[in-house]
Chain A
């Protein structure tokens, strides 16, 4: 990117911009190198017959996914989605309107797969698969975070994420991939986590967290690794081992398990909850990454699997893992498989297993950012919508001051952080800043009304994105953190309110 990267100015309310063609055409992911493509069973580079292969793959995807076929056919271009995507609101580029993002695939679909398109071409909205078209795909299908917000407002529930992921799968199949996303998939499949942390490095981190807790509280809280026969296998996004503020939530999980008196373990082989296979629409990679967790659950003979704070990880684990690698009849059937850490903590908190000192969080006035994949792609608890109430209940148990951001920006209408779906990469920083404008506007609103100074959430990507972009918006990067960071602050170790 040439020029200085700056955050948009927050005007006070979310404004829908005028359409500006090509406004974000230069925001592109770095292509994956040939050897990386090959490692993941994709062609190393674009073959001479790429058009045929592209259309073959497209035909296959349409045949395999009802969502894609149906969504390509039934959109009526009513326009309800056009002003709902933060990538459009942030950039004004019409290709970031969900319907017009889909139109790239739909126009090719009409041209090669429908009678009307074959006969009437442009008149029927059909477009040839040209270099320019491919370039648009490679640009704008990597400007969607797959957050599903558009789907909430679509009268038919058309989910652009399905189209985006399908498009990436088609592009991968002709050797055009994203370096960032595919490197992570490769690391997750070979080393076991997205950051490439080896077992000794992992053990070091855990020792460090143990020492920190000892120093701060005097308590001997353990973070066990690879313990066979433990009751619980905890799988978290690997950022929790490494990044700030993520590691504060890891500390929180450890304290919760310690205080609950359960036996638990982490695994170095399955040291990643995140699953970037989702982001490239590749069933095989998604399944392979997911499989490590269930293989390890078998091998360590655990009874339960609990997942740390990560949005799309929870979606894949909650919604897909039973399909991908189930059934899980080798686990204790009294517990849901898998369980979210918020479900675990809140359940015991309601049984009064923990004592919380809310005043420990009195320097925080908290708001909660619903992460897209949790909000619109999964559930917690027993009742639809519990994914909204449970994290808020946990915050209210551990903090005195909590205020929600404005309606229309939270819960099922929540805005994405702006970097999910494989966009959390440096080359897209300008796009990420712009896409976050909706969330920042809503955050500013509660800051001004209620002096909010802490943005709590349960997603590793959101944490990394906000830590990075808050300073651009002149806010302190420490204003973002996990729900279990708040729990970590408030939980009184050694004390029980009586079980």
Chain B
């Protein structure tokens, strides 16, 4: 294998390790941090099953945003379509790391492709809305734009690879399959593909250190995930006995 292939194989493994290790570390950290008091935002469900039904619409439909005004509705459109397209795009990518490709992965190929078209537009909404009013201008940080443009870069290089500067798919698949089967293969020498991979690696490495942790947030947020039964069940955390 040439140097470039070695570098990219190493990069992929490093990124994956940091992503998985970082996320595990974070999850353990959150689990180990107690919630000393019952602080569900009420009205709140009284049972755990109720909590599941409170969280499901949040995760699937971002329900809370629909409670807000026009700005939140715009955010909802951008945010929801962004996340759903990301999901299908990733799903579509499973074909690069499976052999033979399972039927259900083949089944979402067309949806995944449609999602890839939607993806940059959803991101554009998310970028533009940060300029919509003076409040957004005040609160937006460099890192907010950084992650949006990073995602946009990944999406656009993906589209270029699909339509304009096509890479040999067999080589791509060999490289990707090599990664997951721990038998490294040469990386395709397509500049756009390499950029696509680098950007994706940056995103994945950045994930555990950033606000992208919000993915777990809604599941662990005490105001949303706690039950409202303090009079019936005594809630005690380790340090607060």
- A79: Cβ under 8 A from any B Cβ: yes
Neighbouring B residues of A65 by C-beta, 8 Å:
33-36
Min C-beta distance of A285 to chain B, whole Å: 13
Question: B42 to A69, Cβ gap below 8 A?
Answer: no
Q: Assess whether B140 is interfacial by the CB under 8 Å rule.
A: yes
- B43 CB → nearest A CB, Å: 4
| Interface contact A99-B214, CB-CB below 8 Å | no
- Segment 209-232 of B: residues with Cβ below 8 Å from A: 209-211, 213-214, 216-218, 220-224, 228, 230-231
Query: Smallest distance from the beta carbon of B207 to chain A beta carbons, Å?
Result: 12
B71 with A79: CB separation less than 8 A: yes
Residue of B nearest to A162 (CB): B39
B98 contacts the other chain (CB 8 A)? no
User: If A67-B35, A78-B79, A125-B143 touch, does A323 touch B234 (CB 8 Å cutoff)?
Assistant: yes
With A65-B35, A70-B30, A153-B67 as given contacts, are A124 and B239 in contact (CB-CB < 8 Å)?
Answer: no
**CB of A283 to closest CB in B, whole Å:** 6
Q: Write out, one digit per residue, whether chain A residues 56-85 have a CB within 8 A of any chain B CB (1) or not (0).
A: 000000111111011101111111101110
Q: Is residue A378 within 8 Å, beta carbon to beta carbon, of the partner chain?
A: yes
Assess whether B77 is interfacial by the CB under 8 Å rule. no
Choice from B35, B136, B211, B231 contacting A82 with Cβ under 8 Å: B136
- Is residue B141 within 8 Å, beta carbon to beta carbon, of the partner chain? yes
Q: Is the CB of B36 within 8 A of A323?
A: yes
Say yes or no: A124 contacts B143, CB within 8 Å. yes
A336 to B68, CA, bound (A): 35
**A301 nearest CB across to chain B (Å):** 21
Question: For A73, what are the chain B residues with a Cβ–Cβ distance below 8 Å?
Answer: 26, 211, 213, 217
Known: A80-B65, A384-B228. A157 touches B75 (CB 8 A): no
| Nearest CB of chain A from residue B179's CB, rounded to whole Å | 26
Residue of B nearest to A326 (CB): B234
Name the B residues within 8 Å of A319 (CB-CB). Answer: 37-39, 230
Instruction: Please give the distance in Å from A221's CB to the nearest CB on chain B.
Output: 29
Q: What residues of chain A lie closer than 8 Å to B75, measured between beta carbons? A: 78-80
B239 closest partner in A (C-beta): A64
Does any Cβ of B come within 8 Å of A363's Cβ? no
| A64–B65 CA distance with the chains assembled, in angstroms | 29
Asked if B211 and A76 sit within 8 Å, CB to CB, the answer is yes
Given the known interface contacts A320-B230, A323-B37, the answer about A384 and B45 at a Cβ–Cβ threshold of 8 Å is yes
Chain B: residues with Cβ within 8 Å of the partner, total of 62
Known: A377-B42, A387-B42. A63 touches B33 (CB 8 A): yes
Known pairs A336-B231, A387-B43; A74 contacts B211 (CB<8 A): yes
A162 contact set on B, CB distance < 8 A: 39
**Bound: A77/B139 CA distance, A:** 7
Asked if residues A18 and B43 are in contact (CB atoms below 8 Å), the reply is no
Closest B residue, CB atoms, query A385: B43
| Least distance between B62 CB and chain A CB atoms (Å) | 6
The answer to whether A412 touches B211, judged by C-beta atoms less than 8 angstroms apart, is: no
How far does the alpha carbon of A322 sit from the alpha carbon of B240 in the complex, in Å?
Answer: 12
Tell me which residues across on chain B come within 8 A of A387, comparing CB atoms: 42-43
Interface positions of B from 1 to 57, Cβ below 8 Å from A? 26, 29-30, 33-39, 41-46
Q: Which of B44, B141, B239 contacts A384 (CB 8 A)?
A: B44
CB of B80 to closest CB in A, whole Å = 11
Q: Kindly list chain B residues whose C-beta atoms are within 8 Å of the C-beta of A77.
A: 139-141, 144, 211
Query: Does A74 contact B213, Cβ atoms closer than 8 Å?
Result: yes
CB distance B141 to A152 under 8 Å?
no
Bound Cα distance A151, B67 (Å): 12
B223 touches A159 (CB 8 A): yes
Q: Mark A99-127, 1 if CB is under 8 A from B, else 0.
A: 11001000000000011100000011100
Name A68's closest neighbour in chain B (CB-CB): B33
**Chain A residues positioned under 8 Å from B136 (CB to CB):** 79, 82
Q: Is B107 an interface residue (CB 8 A)?
A: no
Residue of A nearest to B224 (CB): A157
Q: B33 — nearest CB in chain A belongs to which residue?
A: A66
Contacts of B138 in A (CB 8 A): 19, 94, 97, 100
Contact (A80, B220) CB under 8 Å given A66-B33, A103-B139: no
CA distance A388 to B218 in the complex (A): 26
Find out whether the CB atom of A323 lies under 8 angstroms from the CB atom of B235.
yes
CA distance A79 to B78 in the complex (A): 13
The minimal Cβ–Cβ distance linking A153 to chain B, given in whole angstroms, is 5
Is the beta-carbon distance between B222 and A66 smaller than 8 angstroms?
yes
Chain A residues near B69: list those with CB within 8 A. Answer: 83
B164 contacts which chain A residues (CB < 8 A)? none
Residue of B nearest to A153 (CB): B68
* Closest partner residue, chain A, to B132 (CB atom): A79
A155 at the interface (CB under 8 A from B): yes
Chain B contacts for A436, CB-based, 8 A: none
Q: Which residue of A lies closest to B26 (CB)?
A: A73
- Other-chain residue from B42, B45, B214 in contact with A156 (beta carbon distance below 8 A): B214
Q: How far is the CA of A63 from the CA of B239 in the complex (A)?
A: 10
A326 to B235, CA, bound (A): 9
In the docked arrangement, what's the CA distance between A376 and B40, Å? Answer: 8
Question: Once the chains are docked, how many angstroms separate the CA of A387 from the CA of B43?
Answer: 8
Chain B 174-212: CB-based contact to A (< 8 A → 1; otherwise 0): 000000000000000000000000000000000001110
In the bound complex, residues from chain B placing their C-beta under 8 Å from that of A376 are: 41-42
How far, in angstroms, from A63 to B240 measured CA to CA in the complex? 12
Check A156–B72 contact: CB distance below 8 A. Answer: no
Q: Does B142 contact A (CB under 8 A)?
A: yes
A379 on interface, CB distance cutoff 8 Å: yes
Give me the 10 closest cross-chain CB pairs, A-B, nearest first.
A74-B217, A384-B43, A157-B223, A157-B224, A82-B135, A66-B33, A385-B43, A74-B214, A156-B217, A125-B141
12 A-B pairs whose Cβ atoms sit less than 8 Å apart in the complex:
A65-B36, A69-B33, A76-B214, A79-B129, A79-B135, A80-B71, A125-B141, A153-B64, A159-B39, A320-B38, A323-B38, A323-B230
A-B contacts besides A82-B135, A103-B139, 7 pairs, CB < 8 Å = A66-B30, A74-B217, A79-B75, A80-B68, A114-B209, A157-B223, A378-B42
Residues of B within 8 A of A (CB): 26, 29-30, 33-39, 41-46, 58, 62, 64-65, 67-69, 71-72, 75, 79, 129-130, 134-136, 138-144, 209-211, 213-214, 216-218, 220-224, 228, 230-231, 233-237, 239-240
